[in-house]
Structure 1
């Protein structure tokens, strides 16, 4: 009986572990896609804010608060590049 249990354990354990690893990889793919999509949406909104308030040559305090929160989330997701320069420009605008 003990040998049967050990044989079953030896056969089933790698199969179960393989299945768990596959599930975790699939979840990671989904998480990565969600992160990239969120980062893209934040980048679009940050660019819209930048263009609008640079044309107005000032920014309301509520919009600056939104900017700071969006930029922080964008940066946390690994975003950088041109939006970093936009962040500096936005912070130089007078607050209305």
Structure 2
């Protein structure tokens, strides 16, 4: 009887572990796809904010706060590059706007 149980465990355990590994890989793939999609949507919104407020020459405080929060989320997801440059430009715009100066 013990030999049968041992053989059953010997066969079943690798199958069960293989299935668990397959599920974990699939979940990771889905998380990666969601992260990439979220990052791309944030990039689009950040570019829109940048273009809009740079043309206006000023940015309201609520829009600046939204921009900063979106940038931080974007950056944590691995985004960088041109959006970092836009972030610095928006920061300069916001600081100039707070001083009452027009750009």
TM range (shorter): over 0.9
Scaled by the length of structure 1, what TM-score is found?
0.97
- Superposed CA deviations along residues 20-49 of structure 1, whole A, max 9, x for unmatched, are 000111111111110000000000000000
RMSD: 1.0
SS of residue matched to 1:26: helix
Correspondence 1:72 to 2:72: yes
Aligned length: 96
- The structure showing larger relative contact order (alpha-carbon pairs under 8 Å, at least 6 residues apart) is 1
**Uncovered stretches (5+) of structure 2, i.e. residues with no partner:** none
Residues 49-95 of structure 1: CA deviation (Å, up to 9, x unaligned): 00000001110000001001100000000000100000000000124
Per the alignment, in what secondary structure is the counterpart of residue 19 of structure 1?
A: helix
| Structure 1: segments with no counterpart, 5+ residues | none
**Counterparts of residues 1-96 of structure 1 (less than 5 Å):** 1-93=1-93, 94-95=97-98
